[in-house]
Structure 1
Amino acid sequence: MVQGKCELIALCLGIIGLIGAVSVTGLPMWKVTAFIGENIIVMETRWEGLWMTCFRQANIHMQCKVYDSLLFLPLDLQAARGLTCCALALSGVGLLVSLVGLRCTLCLRDQPRSKSLIAMAAGLMQILASVCVIIPVSWTAHTIIRDFYNPLLIDAQRRELGEALYIGWVTSAFLLASGIIFLCRRVDPKPGSFHGRPQANKPILNRLQTFNSLRHQPLVQTNSLSIQQSRNPFFFSSYPGFPLIISYPLDLK
């Protein structure tokens, strides 16, 4: 019961992480630059994202423009494109796989070990998605901070951390927590193992033990049998499960 609730919590964390990963990938607020000119009234704000750059002057609505070329982007944003797309794929596939591994679903209900392994595989995908989110976010933040304290750059070229970076760190934490919960699921033992031996095999084991005990018992002598049993050519054993047939000679004296 407790594990079922933990799995539902992990699923909810994974869904929140997937939504956050989509937001991080689509938002242009990775790098924020504020340009202040000589005139106080004129102020322009610029945002740089993975796919587009946006401008806003004073209180005028925002205008965005898609990058003309991928090579125009710096190295950190180029890597961030690929890693965030991988994070979306891993997180989405991980959530779909986790639906099969949940205890409350009907898929593979008669194979608990397979469900456990599938849930652990989903947890591994969520952890990999978390890594694919935190690497580009931290890399971009490091580049922004390094350039901010670079004395060779002018004030107009300095950038600040955008909102998408903070969302990325929180998203990575949600995905990591979801993956850890899925990985901590107890794996059911194999059907043939000592702890996972099915109950249906117990009668067979009892019969085998009875058969082994019969093998070590001394043979019954014919003179100790009753007269009626000695006259019968066949004598059936009374042990349950083992209809042993013992033959006796007909010409008993």
Structure 2
Amino acid sequence: MGVIAIVGSASSVLSFIGVIFCSISYEWKRSSQLASQNNLRNLYLSEGLWMRCNIPIAGVLTCDNYSTTLFDVPGYLQALRALTIMSALLLFCSATCNILALDCVNCIHPKTQRLMAIFGGGASLLGGVCILAAVSWYASEIIREFRYDITYEGVKYTFGAALYVGWISGGLALICGSVVLCCSCFTRTDDNDGGAAYTYKPPKSRTNEEYV
């Protein structure tokens, strides 16, 4: 369980960092230079869950929070925000539990460490599902707009870097959670801190045997 716990801890931490980057990134989608109108190909536009940005002048990046209040954005955008926040919380719990389940942590009983590893694996699975659902949902919206020529003032959008980071982080979380959960469920711990139980059996009596 030692190597599995180390791999699970590292994977959970990396997935958590990836989800945090994905959540705060302003590049969930970016303007496509090939599909946009000719006079807009040199204009950079991008949108994220919390802000949208553009570069009107070379070297100057301006962003805003959709020029609205927190709950006035479209419903699907609020759902995506909730999914990413839930994923980040679950992966944080997973990383914490997997770190506490390491063999080098001696202040926790082995049985408790096993339960924490199981919880950490389950949290990693759920966190991976949440972030994968969020980025896949957003990607489907981009594909729908691109396919049906839905443009915003002549600009078409394509996938941003945050979507790829979200897919990688979600896949890593699913693999990590599955491995840790399976290995933890099939690992047995005894009451004597993992020691094998031994029952003393006295030798059989040979008083009734006949000797020739």
TM-score bucket of the superposed structures, by smaller chain: 0.7 to 0.9
In 2, Cα distance between the equivalents of 1:152 and 1:167?
A: 25
Displacement of 1:37: 6.5
Aligned counterpart, 1:47: 46
Checking the alignment, whether the CA contact within 8 Å between 1:123 and 1:183 is kept in structure 2 is: yes
Question: Secondary structure in 2 aligned to 1:105?
Answer: coil
In 2, Cα distance between the equivalents of 1:119 and 1:152?
A: 47
RMSD: 3.0
Displacement of 1:114: 2.5
Q: Give the TM-score of the pair, scaled to structure 1.
A: 0.69
Checking the alignment, whether the CA contact within 8 Å between 1:44 and 1:56 is kept in structure 2 is: yes
1:17-73 residue CA offsets vs partner (Å, 9 max, x unmatched): 111011000101012125866658x83221111111111125232111123223443
Aligned counterpart, 1:238: none
Aligned counterpart, 1:132: 130
Match of 1:112 among 101, 107, 110: 110
In 2, Cα distance between the equivalents of 1:77 and 1:28?
A: 13
1:85-139 residue CA offsets vs partner (Å, 9 max, x unmatched): 111111111111122222232132xx43332121111110111110110001000
The answer to whether structure 1 residue 61 and structure 2 residue 60 are counterparts is yes
Displacement of 1:75: 3.3
Checking the alignment, whether the CA contact within 8 Å between 2:87 and 2:126 is kept in structure 1 is: yes
Name whichever of 95-104 and 11-20 sits farther off. 95-104
The answer to whether structure 1 residue 22 and structure 2 residue 20 are counterparts is yes
Q: Residue 172 of structure 2 aligns to which amino acid in structure 1?
A: F
Aligned counterpart, 2:179: 181
In 1, Cα distance between the equivalents of 2:5 and 2:196?
A: 26
Checking the alignment, whether the CA contact within 8 Å between 1:112 and 1:188 is kept in structure 2 is: no
In 1, Cα distance between the equivalents of 2:173 and 2:21?
A: 14
Count matched residues: 201
Larger Rg: 1
Question: Secondary structure in 2 aligned to 1:64?
Answer: strand
Name whichever of 85-94 and 147-156 sits farther off. 147-156
1:207-227 residue CA offsets vs partner (Å, 9 max, x unmatched): 7x99xx9xxxxxxxxxxxxxx
Aligned counterpart, 1:89: 89
Distance 1:117 1:152, change over 3 A: closer
Displacement of 1:153: 4.6
Aligned counterpart, 2:6: 8
Aligned counterpart, 2:209: none
Structure-to-structure mapping, 1:163-174, within 5 angstroms: 163-174=161-172
